[in-house]
Amino acid sequence: GENVEQHPSTLSVQEGDSAVIKCTYSDSASNYFPWYKQELGKGPQLIIDIRSNVGEKKDQRIAVTLNKTAKHFSLHITETQPEDSAVYFCAAVPRGTASKLTFGTGTRLQVTL
């Protein structure tokens, strides 16, 4: 089955700096890669996703890059703000698994003033 590794487990940045979270996946058949933000006591919120036929996608301060050859994908947050503080999860969906998500272990992002 699919295995997703996520690094770092914790990340502290100053407000205004950029944050990068990296994930690797094992199943070359995976073709959909969403990123979720989870605030304390709440459900995960989809913030951006990318499909395997695209190398990069951007939405305002958030971008995701995908390297299919190396089987890794990354989340980039620019101009971080205190409200970006949360736990971020990457996930992968192998083709033919009825959209079952395999999650990474999560990254706790702390944006300090």
* DSSP annotation of 47: E
56-59/62-67 β-pairing:
antiparallel
Closest approach, Cβ 75 to another protein, in A, equals 15
Q: Which residue has the tokens 């998500």?
A: 101
Contacting positions for another protein (CB under 8 A): 32, 34, 36, 41-46, 49, 51, 89, 93, 98-101, 103-106
Strand ranges, E, within the chain: 4-7, 10-14, 19-25, 30-38, 45-51, 56-59, 62-67, 72-77, 86-94, 102-103, 107-112
Closest approach, Cβ 51 to another protein, in A, equals 7
For another protein, give the closer residue by CB, 32 or 71: 32
For another protein, give the closer residue by CB, 14 or 83: 83
For another protein, give the closer residue by CB, 38 or 78: 38
Closest approach, Cβ 81 to another protein, in A, equals 22
Closest approach, Cβ 11 to another protein, in A, equals 15
Contact 81, 15 (CB under 8 A): yes
**CA pair distance 98, 93, nearest whole angstrom:** 9
For another protein, give the closer residue by CB, 35 or 63: 35
